[in-house]
Amino acid sequence: MATGSKNKAPHSLAQYSSLPTPNPNHNIKRGSRDSTKIYEPTFPEQDACTPAGLKRAQQHQKMAIDWNTLAKEFHDILGIRPPDDLAFRKRVEAVLSRLSACNAVPTDERRTRLLALVNRKFDINAQAINKLLAIAAAKKISFNYHEKSRIAAAFDQSEKPSFTLVLQLKNAVDDDLVSAFRPASVEVTLKKLHSELVSPTLIRKDSRPRDWSQEIRRSLFGGFVFSVFRQQDMHELFDKDIHLEARYEPDFWKHLHKSRREMFSRAKTLVYLECDGSIEINKIAPSLQKEFFELANHGYFALHLKNAHGREWRTAALATLFAEKFLEKRLENGYFRWREIESTTRSYIPALADADTAFDRANLGYHYKDTFVLGDDARGGILLLFQKNTSDETLIPCPSCRSHDVQGNSYSSLGVKSWECMNPICPDRSKFDRGKRYSFYQLLRQQAIDNTNAMISISSVRAWSRDVQSVKPSDAIIEMLVRHYTLPGDGVLQIGGDVTQSLGRDITCEQLSKYLNGLNELGENALSKFSRSPFFGRFAIARPTPGAGKGAVESRTFGNTELLLGDCFDVLSEMPEAIFDGAVTSPPYYNAREYAQWQNIYCYLYDMFNIARQVFRTLKPGATYLFNIFDYFDNENTIAYSAMGDKRMILSAYCVELFERAGFKCEGNIVWDKGEIEGKRAFNNGNFSPYYQAPFNCWEHILIFKKPGGEISFARPLPRVLRQKPVMKIVQGVNCHGHTAPFPDQVPELLLERLPENSVVLDPFAGSMTTGRVAARLGRRAVCIEKDRAYFELGFSMLRNSAAQIPLFHLAAQ
Ligand SMILES: C[S@@+](CC[C@H](N)C(=O)[O-])C[C@H]1O[C@@H](n2cnc3c(N)ncnc32)[C@H](O)[C@@H]1O
């Protein structure tokens, strides 16, 4: 049964511009629908111009709109009373007293709007919509974000013509789809509402015990009051900026453009810098610094290091570290609990006592996003992406009701200021009456969706859905960057590289050498100041070696492999210098596993630095150390502990810096391409627009470090890419391997196969002793250190079992 009114205006394309826009982050799960446009179901402004519209306008001019009228109507339609909340009532009455009855929409329309509001807030049509989308998908019909929004609105308003118009415009009119249009009947809507009032479906955030029914009634009644009047009247009532414009601007983004000009400087939204990978980091650092201050907020810096000679990886790592941390700032925000950070770090690192640490200053900069690997031969290169996010405190009115009664909300991520609307009559309050949350960045992303000229082709999105690519010419890379990370009309600075097409953007090209020469002076200062900064004083500190007898808790020898139980720092401290011909390992990734928990990244880095120093000491000059690590997502816990501090970790970049401080030379990196990996990162929910595209992170680093001063010959050079699936350890939900993070045999093979026989190889974080097993198979000697007793035992038994399967393995266990 329909909830629509009888007096509908004819449908037109223009009408769609006022339809709701669900949160682009959700597919059709619309619980937290996030619109930057007002939910204005079926009463377009043009209606007043039609004879029927005029008639209706005359009719309701006579009506007095006060609390009691609306309360009665609300009760008649939904069978529930408005909230018993005096303060709320006063706010509503104050609003009503400022609005004349002639601006109200007719009563039947009010009913439609109210029922649609209930449907939307409680996501009542979600199942039916998903069913329809599934039928469409089976017929190979897919809807983009805009079409899905219109379909959702048509369901909530029970407006079949709006739905069929979507199909018509797509040339996809189909009987099965038309008959799958089954919006909730009024009975279903009311039943759901009443059951929610008695026992609400809670989401975790809402689970504090409180008066749900009151909150639901307040949210619905507030939204109802808003929808009783024309959108323009409500906006003009709430928006203090309205005087800045000669005419009312229905589009919030355009309105914001006029009233918040300073936020809209799009003169530089992307910087692309292309250079040879052998470039020294002191040449790159100043450009990162200079452009950070010139880029529009949320803009991107793309660094393309061409030609693979290995050295590009060192530059990439140091540039990443500099980019993320170069800006030293005293933060006033309450989320920056530096005293707590200082005290946990100091209690973990007693040696910090006299170091210059300046914990009261935060280290900020770009957000590291991705590194695309461009091919596996010498012509390949890498492309790094950094995004600027700096907190802008400029007040942004609520995009739904345009009220300035908003307050700063917790940041969605560092540098992205978000707001919460406090207007009780805002139509976009949650079902439990929480104010709408939004940020400038979210609005920018929404704008990117709304701008049909910004649409990216499916082929471009697909072509760049992995972060391991084939060799790509510069123009293809720039085209991707421009399409995926800017909007039409934006300014782009291209430094180096060939001339490319503009794609409707304003591209300024600069010659690389000329540009870099202009930055020379800044360069030396920027980098040396950073490397001497207190930031490193918080973790790059030598740890005293333990007293004698603190080494291995237990040791076992099996064939040519020695297994040592203990902390590798302690165990290695007791070993003589220069005894190993090479090392290969995969360390515990900071806070990624149960065996890898640190209070903050400083504590982790302190451990990694000191273990690296011990590995360095025990390796022979000329020895190679292969270090497998992944830049996954977590929280460094050095600025904010909440989810806003979650980000892509730059573990590999930190390791390059620290290993060089320990004495190693970074000679390059082997890209371990893990193939098609699972994950959601590249899912764009049908939004083929800028700022929604991110690749799957398909590869891990195997960094190549060398201890200088000698030569240990390799049978053949190391490859640039290792294509290998990860170890299959979970089968039907059960870990059948035993270790949670083993690497495949092919990782230690990279080293062991290339070293001469009788070489001795170290794995300081041995886990299930994969290195030991590979060494045994290849007739090499290995020393494996593992801290965890259970993994030590597991490694031992796996070694024994695998030895039994190798006929040539004739050295018995001792
Ligand atoms: C990523 S796993 C290594 C997995 C191994 N490559 C394999 O194939 O099974 C890291 C291992 O380091 C161990 N570990 C962590 N800290 C350690 C330390 N200080 N000394 C020795 N082992 C440590 C953990 O218990 C874990 O088993």
User: In the block, which residue shows the tokens 């079992």?
Assistant: 801
CB 746 within 8 A of CB 657: no
Q: Determine if ligand 1 sits within 6 Å of the CB of residue 742.
A: yes
Q: Ligand 1: distance of its center to the CA of 485 in Å?
A: 39
DSSP single-letter state for residue 514: H
Using CA atoms in the order 258, 260, 263, 269, what is the torsion angle rounded to 10 degrees?
-10
Q: Looking at per-residue confidence, does 425 or 18 come out higher?
A: 425
- Ligand 1 atom index nearest CA of 791: 27
Name the residue at shortest CA distance from atom 15 of ligand 1.
Answer: 588
Pocket test for ligand 1, best of 595, 605, 724, 774 (most atoms within 8 A of CB): 595
Average pLDDT over the chain, rounded to an integer = 87
- Ligand 1 atom index nearest CA of 770: 8
Give the pLDDT score at 318.
Answer: 97
Residue range 397-416: average pLDDT?
90
Q: Ligand 1: distance of its center to the CA of 767 in Å?
A: 4
Q: Ligand 1: distance of its center to the CA of 766 in Å?
A: 5
Per residue in 732-745, pLDDT (tens digit) is: 777 777 888 899 99
Per residue in 548-579, pLDDT (tens digit) is: 888 899 999 988 899 999 999 999 999 999 99
Pairing of strands 327-330, 381-387: unpaired
Which residues is 115 bridged to in the sheet?
Answer: none
Give the pLDDT score at 207.
Answer: 64
Q: How many Cβ atoms sit within 10 Å of the Cβ of residue 412?
A: 16
| CB-based contacts of 468, cutoff 8 Å, min separation 6 | 372, 373, 671, 673, 698, 699, 721
DSSP single-letter state for residue 645: G
Q: Determine if ligand 1 sits within 6 Å of the CB of residue 610.
A: no
Q: Determine if ligand 1 sits within 6 Å of the CB of residue 400.
A: no
Give the pLDDT score at 55.
Answer: 56
Q: How confident is the model at residue 809 (pLDDT cuts 50, 70, 90)?
A: very low
Q: Determine if ligand 1 sits within 6 Å of the CB of residue 785.
A: yes
- Ligand 1 atom index nearest CA of 569: 19
Which residues is 527 bridged to in the sheet?
Answer: none
Q: What does the radius of gyration of the chain's CA atoms come to, in whole angstroms?
A: 31
Q: How confident is the model at residue 811 (pLDDT cuts 50, 70, 90)?
A: very low
Among 661, 621, 600, 626, smallest CA distance to 751 is for 626
| CB-based contacts of 127, cutoff 8 Å, min separation 6 | none
Q: Determine if ligand 1 sits within 6 Å of the CB of residue 614.
A: no
Q: How confident is the model at residue 102 (pLDDT cuts 50, 70, 90)?
A: confident
Q: How many Cβ atoms sit within 10 Å of the Cβ of residue 453?
A: 9
Give the pLDDT score at 260.
Answer: 86
- Ligand 1 atom index nearest CA of 727: 8
Q: Ligand 1: distance of its center to the CA of 567 in Å?
A: 10
Q: How many Cβ atoms sit within 10 Å of the Cβ of residue 166?
A: 21
Q: Ligand 1: distance of its center to the CA of 596 in Å?
A: 9
Give the pLDDT score at 64.
Answer: 67
Name the residue at shortest CA distance from atom 13 of ligand 1.
Answer: 765
Q: Determine if ligand 1 sits within 6 Å of the CB of residue 429.
A: no
CB 699 within 8 A of CB 672: yes
DSSP-derived secondary structure for 163-194: HHHHHHHTT---HHHHHT--PPPHHHHHHHHH
Give the pLDDT score at 600.
Answer: 97
pTM metric for this prediction: 0.85
Per residue in 163-179, pLDDT (tens digit) is: 999 999 989 999 999 99
259: number of CA atoms within 13 Å, CB side?
24
Name the residue at shortest CA distance from atom 10 of ligand 1.
Answer: 588
CB 627 within 8 A of CB 667: no
Q: How confident is the model at residue 804 (pLDDT cuts 50, 70, 90)?
A: low
Q: Determine if ligand 1 sits within 6 Å of the CB of residue 636.
A: no
**Ordered alpha helix ranges (H), 183-310:** 186-198, 212-228, 231-238, 252-259, 281-294
Q: At what angle do helices 212-228 and 86-97 cross, to 10 degrees?
A: 0
Q: Determine if ligand 1 sits within 6 Å of the CB of residue 664.
A: no
The answer, yes or no, to whether residue 16 has pLDDT greater than 80, is no
Least confident of 387-401, 650-664, 670-684, 728-742: 728-742
Q: Determine if ligand 1 sits within 6 Å of the CB of residue 788.
A: yes
User: In the block, which residue shows the tokens 């009247």?
Assistant: 233
Q: Ligand 1: distance of its center to the CA of 594 in Å?
A: 11
Give the pLDDT score at 798.
Answer: 94
Tokens encoding 722: 């290792």
User: In the block, which residue shows the tokens 């590291």?
Assistant: 368
What CA–CA distance (Å, rounded) separates 229 from 96? Answer: 10
Give the pLDDT score at 422.
Answer: 97
Pocket test for ligand 1, best of 701, 751, 787, 796 (most atoms within 8 A of CB): 787
| CB-based contacts of 548, cutoff 8 Å, min separation 6 | 574
Phi-psi region of 378 (alpha: psi -120 to 50; beta: other; left: phi over 0): alpha
DSSP single-letter state for residue 466: B
Residue range 772-791: average pLDDT?
95
Q: Determine if ligand 1 sits within 6 Å of the CB of residue 586.
A: yes
What CA–CA distance (Å, rounded) separates 219 from 231? Answer: 18
Q: Determine if ligand 1 sits within 6 Å of the CB of residue 743.
A: yes
Name the residue at shortest CA distance from atom 27 of ligand 1.
Answer: 767
CB 227 within 8 A of CB 5: no
Tokens encoding 30: 């619309």
User: In the block, which residue shows the tokens 């909730």?
Assistant: 184
Using CA atoms in the order 437, 142, 170, 32, what is the torsion angle rounded to 10 degrees?
-20
Pocket test for ligand 1, best of 589, 752, 786 (most atoms within 8 A of CB): 786
Least confident of 16-25, 246-255, 319-328: 16-25
Give the pLDDT score at 522.
Answer: 63
99: three-class secondary structure by DSSP: coil
The answer, yes or no, to whether residue 407 has pLDDT greater than 90, is yes
- Through-space distance between the first and last CA atoms of the chain, rounded to whole angstroms: 81
Name the residue at shortest CA distance from atom 3 of ligand 1.
Answer: 767
Per residue in 33-91, pLDDT (tens digit) is: 333 333 333 333 334 444 554 555 555 445 568 999 999 999 999 999 999 999 999 99
Among 608, 593, 569, 574, smallest CA distance to 791 is for 593
Q: Ligand 1: distance of its center to the CA of 575 in Å?
A: 19
Give the pLDDT score at 415.
Answer: 87
Q: Determine if ligand 1 sits within 6 Å of the CB of residue 604.
A: no
Q: Ligand 1: distance of its center to the CA of 788 in Å?
A: 8
pLDDT more than 90, % of the chain: 69
Q: Determine if ligand 1 sits within 6 Å of the CB of residue 552.
A: no
DSSP-derived secondary structure for 393-415: ------TTT--S-EEEEEEEETT
Give the pLDDT score at 493.
Answer: 98
Q: Determine if ligand 1 sits within 6 Å of the CB of residue 630.
A: no
Q: Ligand 1: distance of its center to the CA of 633 in Å?
A: 19
Tokens encoding 311: 């050295």
Among 592, 582, 676, 587, smallest CA distance to 634 is for 592
Q: Looking at per-residue confidence, does 412 or 538 come out higher?
A: 538
Q: Please name the amino acid found at residue 210.
A: R
Q: Ligand 1: distance of its center to the CA of 748 in Å?
A: 14
Q: Ligand 1: distance of its center to the CA of 786 in Å?
A: 6
Task: Specify burial of residue 62 (Cβ count, 10 A radius: 0-12, 13-18, 19+).
Answer: exposed
Among 454, 439, 431, 441, smallest CA distance to 399 is for 439
Per residue in 254-270, pLDDT (tens digit) is: 888 888 888 888 999 99
Residue range 588-600: average pLDDT?
88
Give the pLDDT score at 550.
Answer: 82
Pocket test for ligand 1, best of 765, 783, 786, 792 (most atoms within 8 A of CB): 765
User: In the block, which residue shows the tokens 């082997």?
Assistant: 670
pLDDT more than 70, % of the chain: 89
Give the pLDDT score at 410.
Answer: 73
Residue range 276-297: average pLDDT?
94
Per residue in 198-236, pLDDT (tens digit) is: 988 876 665 677 788 999 999 999 999 999 999 999 999
Give the pLDDT score at 32.
Answer: 35
Give the pLDDT score at 2.
Answer: 35
